[in-house]
Amino acid sequence: MDFSLPECRSYFATIADSYDRLQPVLSPPYSRGLDMIVDLIPFAAADSFEFVELGCGTAEPTVRVLEHFRRATGTCIDSEPEMLALARRKLTSHLGRIEVREANINRCDIPQCDVVFSSKTIHHVPPAALPELFTRIVNALRPGGCFVLYDAMSVEPHWGASVRRQSSRFRQRHLQEAVAAGVATQQEIDARVEYKRAMKVAGQDVEYEHSAKNMIDAMIEAGFDEVAVVWRMFADAILLACIPAKVA
Ligand SMILES: C[S@@+](CC[C@H](N)C(=O)[O-])C[C@H]1O[C@@H](n2cnc3c(N)ncnc32)[C@H](O)[C@@H]1O
């Protein structure tokens, strides 16, 4: 893989080909976070319902949802053509159940649905855009629907040095295990980390550090009636936000 800094390619366009292999290596909680999204969707495996994934990337979360909920249908949205090309390829066995849409989640229409989920994407959304995004999600959800938001975020109380040390030990052990298992080489891990750092310096991989509290406040303001941190693994957390069911 060419890790030289491309002038006009985004971070995700460049890393798309290795994303599925390296994301679970570089983000130790990732696979468990995706399992939790499936677990938190409030339907039985045989139920029919509609979902939307915001920032689907290569559609790894969407694939897990489609495979667990065999009668669910949905739309997955991302702005990056290279990631979507891989998503479309992966989703060919689910044709008829999923629409793959290229759009910017900061302004696109969100189809009416029962569940919206987003994994590892909201940290790319500027804080100022969150209230409007949450309002569009509330408006898209049917009564009783929910939004499952998985991403890195700060959750009070803040960490001190000991938890930070434990977090980095946990990550280090995870990386070493992946290298020992032949999933990735240390060189490509180092190269990816360095590439991400350089893209950030060049302003081509912009990330925001959201706090759970700010997002929960903005979600309540947008019209969700209950929001809670329901899962956490070091910096990765899941917020579950619910819409009131229709009163009979
Ligand atoms: C770290 S990847 C996560 C992909 C997938 N959800 C997963 O968990 O594997 C972040 C994705 O968000 C997408 N993204 C970032 N900002 C976006 C925006 N404003 N509109 C649509 N997609 C966006 C990127 O293109 C990328 O595919």
Q: Show pLDDT as tens, one digit a residue, over the chain (248 residues).
A: 444 445 546 889 989 999 999 999 999 999 999 999 999 999 999 999 999 999 999 999 999 999 999 999 999 999 999 999 999 999 999 989 999 999 999 999 999 999 999 999 999 999 999 999 999 999 999 999 999 999 999 999 988 999 999 999 999 999 999 999 999 999 999 999 999 999 889 888 789 999 999 999 999 999 999 999 999 999 999 999 999 997 66
Q: Is residue 179 part of a domain?
A: no
Q: What angle, rounded to 10 degrees, do the helices at 60-68 and 30-40 form?
A: 40
Q: Is residue 105 part of a domain?
A: yes
Q: Is residue 71 part of a domain?
A: yes
Instruction: Look at residue 247 in the predicted model and tell me its pLDDT.
Output: 64
Which of the listed residues 79, 88, 118 should we mutate to test ligand 1's pocket, taking the one with most ligand atoms within 8 A of CB?
A: 79
Start-to-end CA distance of the chain, whole Å, equals 57
For 87-100, give one letter per residue: b (16+ CB within 10 A) or e. Answer: beebbeebeeebeb
**Quick check: 129 and 121 in contact, CB under 8 A?**
no
Place of tokens 């803040």: 158
Residue 162 alpha carbon to ligand 1 centre in Å:
31
Q: Is residue 74 part of a domain?
A: yes
Q: Is residue 120 part of a domain?
A: yes
In terms of Cβ atoms closer than 10 Å to its own Cβ (0-12, 13-18, 19+), residue 179 is middle
104 lines ligand 1 (CB under 6 A): yes
CATH number for the domain spanning 97: value is: 3.40.50.150
Q: How far apart are CA 122 and CA 211, in angstroms?
A: 11
Q: For residue 20, which atom of ligand 1 is closest to its CA?
A: 9
Backbone angles phi, psi at 86, to 5 degrees: -70, -40
Q: Which residues contact 127 (CB under 8 A, 6 or more apart)?
A: 208, 210, 214
117 lines ligand 1 (CB under 6 A): no
Q: Please, how many CA atoms are within 13 Å of residue 11, restricted to the half-sphere of its CB?
A: 18
124 lines ligand 1 (CB under 6 A): yes
**Quick check: 241 and 140 in contact, CB under 8 A?**
no
106 lines ligand 1 (CB under 6 A): yes
Instruction: Look at residue 9 in the predicted model and tell me its pLDDT.
Output: 67
Instruction: Look at residue 93 in the predicted model and tell me its pLDDT.
Output: 94
Q: For residue 106, which atom of ligand 1 is closest to its CA?
A: 19
Residue 83 alpha carbon to ligand 1 centre in Å:
8
Q: What angle, rounded to 10 degrees, do the helices at 81-90 and 60-68 form?
A: 30
Residue 100 alpha carbon to ligand 1 centre in Å:
13
62 lines ligand 1 (CB under 6 A): no
| Nearest C-alpha neighbor of 229 from the set 244, 211, 247, 245 | 211
Q: For residue 59, which atom of ligand 1 is closest to its CA?
A: 5
28 lines ligand 1 (CB under 6 A): no
Q: Is residue 69 part of a domain?
A: yes
Number of domains, the chain: 1
Instruction: Look at residue 3 in the predicted model and tell me its pLDDT.
Output: 46
**Quick check: 150 and 238 in contact, CB under 8 A?**
yes
Residue 97 alpha carbon to ligand 1 centre in Å:
21
Q: Is residue 59 part of a domain?
A: yes
Q: Which domain holds residue 227?
A: 11-157+204-242
Listing DSSP states for 42-99 in one string gives: -S-TT---EEEEES-TTSHHHHHHHHHSTT-EEEEEES-HHHHHHHHHHGGGGTTTEE
11 lines ligand 1 (CB under 6 A): no
Q: Is residue 177 part of a domain?
A: no
